[in-house]
Amino acid sequence: MPHSPPPDADARRAVAPVICYPDDTLPRPDLALYARFRAAAWKTDEVIVPPREGRAFRVPVCGFFRITCVEGPQVGDLNLWNAENLSERFYSGKTRALHGTHLSTGDRLWSCFPWLRPMATITEDTLDWYGFDAFGGGVHDVIGTRCDPYTHYLLSGGEMYHHCCHSNLTRAIAAETGEDVRAAEFRVHDVMNVFMCTGFTRDTGQYFMKASPVRPGDFTEFFAEIPLLGALSACPGGDCSATHSSDEAACFPLLVEVFATPAEALGDWASPPVNGYDRSHGA
């Protein structure tokens, strides 16, 4: 049974919050510089991610990649790795702690320990106008994990479904690396939910999704701070207005385009160094 509130319950609730990770000293991306790089870049590749499937792609260091909605409202689950060291991968939890629950232009996707450095920077986002709606929903979250067959199995009573984003990403990275899917699965990690509109309910604190505001022609573009291997799943929930992990929702492909920046345009730019902590951990 719930306990009765203490006499000072209101006073305890009224304590002002403190930001856990003040970002005043966080290095800021030079978006004007990146815009100059982008103006000099040329397209080198494109990948169509079919509905309810995943595909991998590679982006050269100081290149760009753009994820575009091409046919109908569709969300995508994004994984990133250092193309030269797959142990260094996107860390959604620390990205969330540094930038907030939802990402947009100027925010960065950070890598895991012990590297903890920017992997990619969002340089353009056609949905940056959305902000937060009256329900507390925002676009491009780093709070959801990815739909997966394990949770689906747990909640559905045993029904098998193999086109959850976790499985789509697993097949995509397995195909790219040549690994068995059971080995490749361990490389899949929590995602950036591109185009997905999500938040937390105010009464119960539950993670919610609602119809994505994305429309054909909308895109999000990223600058590759390091050489990247990416994988994107076109979520089986479509725009995630009602369900995910099923064949019921209307689903559409997503387009990934890759652009390379010529070396002569870079000047003295260099990739961010790995984190400077000495890893001694007080031992």
What is residue 246's predicted lDDT score, i.e. its pLDDT? 75
The answer to whether residue 272 scores a pLDDT higher than 80 is yes
What is residue 134's predicted lDDT score, i.e. its pLDDT? 96
What is residue 244's predicted lDDT score, i.e. its pLDDT? 74
> Which pLDDT band holds residue 87 (cuts at 50, 70, 90)?
very high
Tell me the average pLDDT across 218-246. Answer: 94
Least trusted range by pLDDT, from 93-107, 158-172, 210-224: 158-172
254 — phi, psi (to 5°)?
-120, 150
Identify how many contiguous H helices and E strands the chain contains and give both numbers. 6, 13
| 219-224, strands of its sheet edge to edge | 42-49, 254-260, 64-69, 219-224, 118-125, 108-110
Tell me the average pLDDT across 141-150. Answer: 94
What is residue 135's predicted lDDT score, i.e. its pLDDT? 96
What is residue 158's predicted lDDT score, i.e. its pLDDT? 74
The answer to whether residue 261 scores a pLDDT higher than 90 is yes
Sequence-ordered list of residues with C-beta below 8 angstroms from that of 247, at least 6 positions apart, any chain: 52, 163, 236
What ranges make up the beta strands (E) of 142-253?
192-200, 207-210, 219-224, 228-234
Tell me the average pLDDT across 73-94. Answer: 98
The answer to whether residue 245 scores a pLDDT higher than 80 is no
> Which pLDDT band holds residue 176 (cuts at 50, 70, 90)?
very high
10-67 pLDDT, tens digit per residue, is 999 999 999 999 989 998 999 999 999 999 999 999 999 999 999 999 999 999 999 9
Tell me the average pLDDT across 166-180. Answer: 98
Q: Where are the domains of the chain?
A: 44-262
**Cα gap 212→110, rounded to integer Å:** 25
- CA dihedral 128→228→97→164, nearest 10 degrees, is 80
